[in-house]
Structure 1
Amino acid sequence: MAVRSAEAAKEIDDLNSASSAHIEAGVSRVGQVGGALEKIVADVGVVTGLVTNIPASSQTQAASLAEINAAANQLDQVTQQNAAMA
C-alpha cells in the first residue's frame, strides 16, 4: 500500500508538472496573441488614416486636372487665333 501511495504521489507530481508546463505555454501564447492584436489595432489606425485622406487627395487631383484642362483649352484657343492670323 505504501508503494502504491508513493506511485500515486509520483504520478500526481508528474501530472502537476505537465499541467504547469501547459499553463506556462498557454500564458506565453496569450502574451503573443496580445502583442499581435496590439499591432493589428495600430495598423488598422494607420490604414484608417490613409483611407481618410483618399477623398481629399481625390478632390485635389480633380481640381488640378481641371486647371490643366483649362490651360490646355486656352493654349488651343491661342493656337487657333494664331493660325487664323497667319
Structure 2
Amino acid sequence: MSLSTAERESLQGILCKGKHVARKIKRARVLLLLSQGATAEQVADKSGAALSTVYKIWNKYLEEGRDAERAVTEKPRPGNRQSSLTR
C-alpha cells in the first residue's frame, strides 16, 4: 500500500493534533503503518486494534477509491442527531 505525500501528511496531522475522535486517530495510525509495509498482524500489535479492525480499515480504504481522508472519516450514524445545544 502506498500513500501520496499529501495523504501521509494529512494522516500524520490527525495523529499530532489530537483534536479528532479516537476512532479517526486509530484509523489514521493503521493506514500509516500499512503504508510503511507492516503486515496486518504487525499493525494490530502496534496500534492496539483488533486484526479484524485492521482489515476493515484496509477494505474501507480500497472501497473509497484509495482515498485515505475518506477512509478515516466516519459517516453520520442514524439516530445521532445534533441537539440545539451542540450547534
TM-score bin, normalised by smaller chain: under 0.3
**TM-score, normalised by the number of residues in structure 1:** 0.20
Identify the structure with the greater helix proportion.
Answer: 1
Q: Of the two, which has the highest radius of gyration?
A: 1
